[in-house]
Chains A and B, each alone.
Chain A
């Protein structure tokens, strides 16, 4: 086929650039400047889809985002996009499109049996059946799910990239039609930083297909002139192919820009999400034409009048050869005239109104068009394409006449596009003259111009835009620039709108084409008591399809108004929510996918770990080495080996992720005293102490070792995961409550790299590298020294999380890798072994050291952990008051204990629950759970830590742990220290 319906002349397509495309496997041709829809129509393709519920044949209905029918699949393989609107897909050479929701083919679709069964499938039918037998829903649902859905998801990951951009604007103008262009010009001339976004390929909006002139010249010439001026203004940014999706708080607007399609290869980015912060927003989004309710108002070949007009004038396509225009307003006569002027035969204009005294109907009559006043369309013919309509007087619907046609252009009036206004919290008001909702009270930072405000005359749109653009610039702090003088005479319109429904003879009358919701469905909903507009919507799914009811909203409200006997404004309106038009997941996510989904924090030694073949694990945003398995070695075996090394020889651990907070100032000691529950006042400079931090609720919040570097200077460490929270929390107290304390906090987590040497040979490894005296007498356990290690400035903390001799060596982060390498080198003769987090956990569990988040879960107090002796009785500290509440003591509390399985080879699963005695009863009371559990290479047996109700009174008792798919395991309750309880090795 070769564009049989392309008009001989006219249109803004480039006839020099033919583009080939495939639809359902057939090859067609269009021109540059076409949308897929206009190119399909140029080739006479009207049947493009099947409807959601009844699988009725459907054609192209609209021109852009309002399209309810023409959802197709574009692309192939990984590049598939389901549910693409043919009306918004820019034609590119080689475009592949396929119809959806049909089997075996678009023309012969077995799903259409649903149409025959439609009396059974009335609104909400599924709430009333499928209830038997009990459990039958599983089968019904399986069938329903396969019938539902529209397009198919791609089966491969997306090969394209998506971008995010930020922009700031004094004035953001949405829509580049007459109002938007005028607004952008006025604001731009005032010197404001203006952003003008429009979803079309070229600016102009309705001006691209208006026959009227601006300042005496064809409108498109003014568009070109205005655009050129905007492009010259240095602070104006104009984005085409960019749709404003949503308005959020404080002038934050999300827009999505589509890439210019390419015929070969891939675009650099497919879509770009703009996040615009605007001081002022001028909404010039125009209006969307609505449909009319009549019997069989969904035949392919039926479309919005404005769409038929634009296809003819803007794209040079005759959507049919013989058209009927069905109207309830004067604007439709423009369509009739434009179609006639473009060479389409207009068989009749059928107008629901009796009194047609306006200028436009007059012009139509003068042009020789047949106008049927006071008539409605009451039926039609044709299955996959309209062949004829039946028109009849509104007062005498049985008095039908058949008018042959292959295009039915429908105009039920216009709805201002108030979506963005609604997003901004605006409450629309009903204008009964326009039979439409118009903006009510102003929304924050927003003004509304032109057709979006219900002002449809060209001169009004231009004037609105010029005025509101200048005002927006003024509010943003700019004085007005040269005035815009725009003169645009038009025929005086008759603004009266007729009814939006034609008399019925019992056919299907759709109010929502996509979801197949009919007038009868809405009336049934009201009959059944779903009287609130939201109930009616949800019960029938009216307005909930992919088009979100852009053409059918007012129609449905009129039906409800009639059924309820209430005026439309009393019926209410449903809320518009972002996005205005569906947006891809890809665009919302931008580059934050794959490796960039969350930032990866790496320690300065990370590259060494990677080269050593470390097995990494994510810990929050950090990636940490879990173990360093040798080739063929399991994680378990590697961790065992690493533990043995750290116990018997020397191990090296990267502890850089530990949270670190530097605290200095005369109030530092007092501050520390208040945030830790144990005493720190007695800590001497040069020494370190383990500190336990509680929330105000008395629960253990974080822990770590804090060293006193000087009288007023502390180095606090926190858990890896708690670092940010603890820092913010202490700042909070310091800044808002303890204003008397002069302390400076600095988060230095990333400033220091930390390598921990652990094991009996640690001293021999560190000794040769440092000027610090490492002897036990000169540098005892829980003290700190400053010196040099391998020539680098270092702080060495003699603390231990393994229970063996251990040094935590801190160097400035930039030296971290060098330190690590130097320690490995120095340790080589001693068999130094790097160990990861798995071994660390085993080492500390052997000693019974807690890990916040394992042995605590936000419900655990110091006493629960057996640390009540640490808690200061003398000072006040955060959380103290909570510890004496009634629920914080008594036999119901859980205590931290150790568990030794009767079978030493048995390693309990983490999280296993504990019973007092074996029981098969369910539910059964549990007395606690395993918090940490490992095979201990040192003890050569399974060891576990657990929280057990009244656990300290159960020492020596046997408890029982039913495993998920195995036996119930018996274990003895013991003290939670398995290795070197005296601490001789640690202190040596």
Chain B
């Protein structure tokens, strides 16, 4: 049971949240003209890093806001959380 630092509500247990996977992958611009490959890249391809991961969470049982978390996928350590629209913080070393 992770402890997720909601930027609006503070630290809450993971059970209150919905996980949304990798953050900041972009829908291709002019996506209707995008190639099948570019579109598949957006739809399905993921970084899935072993290490720091920018990811999306929604505080479903709280403020119901989507936000971003930087979390390590081996240690599960959370470096920071930030709101939509905030500058993306650097990944820890």
Residues of A within 8 A of B (CB): 248-252, 275, 277, 425, 444, 696-697, 728, 731-732, 735-737, 739, 876, 880-882, 885-886
In the docked arrangement, what's the CA distance between A275 and B85, Å?
A: 35
* Contact between B77 and A444, CB atoms less than 8 A apart: yes
Cα–Cα distance between A549 and B80 once the two chains are bound (Å):
39
Given that A250-B3, A735-B65 are known contacts, is A885 also in contact with B36, CB under 8 Å in the complex? yes
Q: A731-B58, A732-B58, A876-B32 are in contact. Are A882 and B18 (CB under 8 A)?
A: no
Q: Can you add 17 more A-B contacts, CB < 8 Å, to A249-B76, A736-B56?
A: A249-B1, A250-B78, A251-B3, A252-B1, A275-B1, A425-B75, A696-B43, A697-B43, A731-B66, A732-B56, A737-B27, A739-B85, A881-B32, A881-B34, A881-B39, A882-B43, A885-B36
B34 nearest CB neighbor, chain A only: A881
Verify B58–A739 contact, CB threshold 8 A: no
Taking A425-B75, A731-B64 as contacts, is the C-beta distance between A248 and B1 under 8 angstroms?
A: yes
> Which of the residues B3, B39, B65, B76 comes within 8 Å of A885, measured between beta carbons?
B39
**How far is the CB of B24 from the nearest CB of chain A, in Å?**
9
Q: Report B-chain residues with C-beta under 8 Å of the C-beta of A275.
A: 1
Q: In angstroms, how far is the closest chain A Cβ from the Cβ of B25? A: 11
Of all chain A residues, which has the CB nearest B30?
A881
Nearest CB on B from A227, distance (A):
31
- Name the A residues within 8 Å of B91 (CB-CB): none
Contact A739 B18 (CB under 8 A): no
Measured in the bound complex, the distance between the Cα atoms of B43 and A830 in whole Å is: 54
Q: What does the 1/0 interface line of B30-51 toward A look like (CB < 8 Å)?
A: 0110101001000100000000
Once the chains bind, are A277 and B32 in contact (CB under 8 Å)? no
Q: Are A252 and B3 in contact (CB under 8 A)?
A: yes
Query: B87 an interface residue at 8 Å Cβ cutoff?
Result: no
Question: What is the chain A residue whose CB lies nearest that of B60?
Answer: A728
Contact A886 B64 (CB under 8 A): no
Query: Which residues of chain B are near A882, meaning CB under 8 Å?
Result: 39, 43
Contacts of A249 in B (CB 8 A): 1-3, 76
Whether, in the assembled complex, B93 has its beta carbon less than 8 Å from a beta carbon of chain A, the answer is no
Q: Which residues of A contact B65 (CB under 8 A)?
A: 735
Neighbouring B residues of A248 by C-beta, 8 Å: 1
A-binding residues in B (CB < 8 A): 1-3, 13, 18, 20, 27, 31-32, 34, 36, 39, 43, 56, 58, 60, 64-66, 75-78, 84-85
Q: Which residues of chain B have C-beta atoms less than 8 A from A885's C-beta? A: 36, 39
Q: Which residues of A contact B64 (CB under 8 A)?
A: 731
- B3, A277: Cβ atoms closer than 8 Å: yes
Q: Could you tell me the distance in whole angstroms from the C-beta of A705 to the nearest C-beta in chain B?
A: 24
Say which residue of B32, B56, B66 sits within 8 Å of A880 (CB atoms): B32
- Distance in angstroms between the alpha carbons of A696 and B2 in the assembled complex: 29
Minimum Cβ distance to chain B for residue A880 (Å): 7
Question: A881 CA to B36 CA in the complex, in Å?
Answer: 9
| A903 to B3 alpha-carbon distance, docked (Å) | 61
Is the Cβ of A735 less than 8 Å from the Cβ of B66?
yes
CA distance A706 to B47 in the complex (A): 37
Residue of A251, A252, A425, A736 touching B66 (CB-CB under 8 A) = A736
Residues in A whose Cβ lies below 8 Å from that of B84 = 735-736, 739
B49 CB → nearest A CB, Å: 18
Interface of A is mostly: mixed
Contacts of B58 in A (CB 8 A): 728, 731-732
What are 8 A-B contacts defined by CB distance under 8 Å? A249-B76, A250-B2, A250-B3, A252-B1, A277-B3, A735-B65, A736-B84, A882-B43
Report chain B residues within 8 Å CB of A886: 36
Q: Are A732 and B20 interface neighbours, CB within 8 A?
A: yes
Chain B residue at minimal CB-CB distance from A724:
B60
Docked Cα-Cα span, A886 to B18, in Å, equals: 33
Chain A: minimal CB distance from B63 (Å): 11
Residue of A nearest to B40 (CB): A885
Q: What distance in Å separates the Cβ of B20 from its nearest Cβ neighbour in chain A?
A: 6
Q: Which residues of B contact A732 (CB under 8 A)?
A: 20, 56, 58, 66
Q: How far is the CA of A277 from the CA of B60 in the complex (A)?
A: 21
Q: Is the CB of B39 within 8 A of A728?
A: no
CA distance A249 to B18 in the complex (A): 17
A250–B43 contact, CB under 8 A? no
In the complex the two chains form, what is the Cα distance from A249 to B78 in whole Å?
Answer: 10
Smallest Cβ distance from A958 to chain B, in angstroms?
38
Once the chains bind, are B13 and A277 in contact (CB under 8 Å)?
Answer: yes
What residues of chain A lie closer than 8 Å to B34, measured between beta carbons? 881
Q: Bound state CA distance, A737 and B77, in angstroms? A: 27
State A739–B84 Cα separation when bound (angstroms): 9
A725 to chain B: closest residue by CB? B18
Q: How far is the CB of A873 from chain B (nearest CB, A)?
A: 11
Interface centre among A250, A728, A882 (most CB of B within 10 A): A250
Complex contacts, A739 vs chain B, CB 8 Å? 84-85
For B13, the chain A residues whose CB sits under 8 A away are 277
A residues less than 8 Å from B75 (CB atoms): 425, 444
Residues of B within 8 A of A250 (CB): 1-3, 76, 78
B66, closest chain A residue (CB) = A735
Residue in B closest to A250 when the chains form the complex, CB atoms: B3
Among A425, A728, A736, A886, the most chain B Cβ lie within 10 Å of the Cβ of: A736
Q: How far is the CB of B64 from chain A (nearest CB, A)?
A: 7
Q: How far is the CA of A731 from the CA of B17 in the complex (A)?
A: 14
Contacts of B60 in A (CB 8 A): 728
Chain A residues closer than 8 Å to B43, beta-carbon distance:
696-697, 882
Task: Report the Cα distance A728→B58, complex, angstroms.
Answer: 8
Query: Across the two chains, which residue of chain B brings its CB closest to A251?
Result: B3
CA distance A728 to B65 in the complex (A): 10
Name which residue of chain A comes closest to B24, CB basis. A736
- Distance (whole angstroms) from the CB of B8 to the closest CB of chain A: 12
Residue of B nearest to A728 (CB): B18
Q: Which residue of A lies closest to B58 (CB)?
A: A728
* Complex Cα gap A444–B65 (Å): 28
The 9 A-B pairs with the shortest beta carbon distances in the complex, nearest first, are A250-B3, A735-B66, A249-B76, A252-B1, A881-B31, A736-B66, A249-B2, A736-B84, A881-B39
Q: How far is the CA of A277 from the CA of B15 in the complex (A)?
A: 13
Chain B residue with minimal CB distance to A254? B1
Most chain B beta carbons < 10 A, residue from A275, A731, A735: A735
CA distance A885 to B39 in the complex (A): 9
Bound state CA distance, A1 and B18, in angstroms? Answer: 62
User: What residues of chain B lie closer than 8 Å to A735, measured between beta carbons?
Assistant: 65-66, 84
Shortest Cβ distance from B42 into A: residue = A696
Question: Complex Cα distance A737/B56, Å?
Answer: 12
Closest A residue, CB atoms, query B84 = A736
Residue of B nearest to A698 (CB): B43
Instruction: Report the separation of the CA atoms of residues A728 and B56 in the bound assembly, to the nearest whole angstrom.
Output: 12
